[in-house]
Amino acid sequence: MKNVTITWNETELLEVSGTYTKARPMSNDRINPPEDSDFEIDKILYKGIEVQGLFSDEDYYKIQDKCLMLIEN
């Protein structure tokens, strides 16, 4: 379980909890294809309140991308 705090709408802080899966590079055996890293969101909290249901699918993917960028950089 990974916890990440991101900035949303340039002013609001969201606390996001989820499961991070590291990217898997191409292997020489070609049995295991490469995979992108992933962050599966479990909770999105705003000021301690669960708000995951308030976001559209597009927003959800933006939040997921922000979390991945923070984790990997």
> For the whole model, what pTM was predicted?
0.83
Look at residue 9 in the predicted model and tell me its pLDDT: 92
Radius of gyration for the alpha carbons in the chain, expressed in angstroms and rounded: 14
Q: What is the mean pLDDT of the chain?
A: 90
**pLDDT tier, 24 (very low <50, low <70, confident <90, very high otherwise):** confident
**Phi/psi at 21 (5° precision):** -120, 120
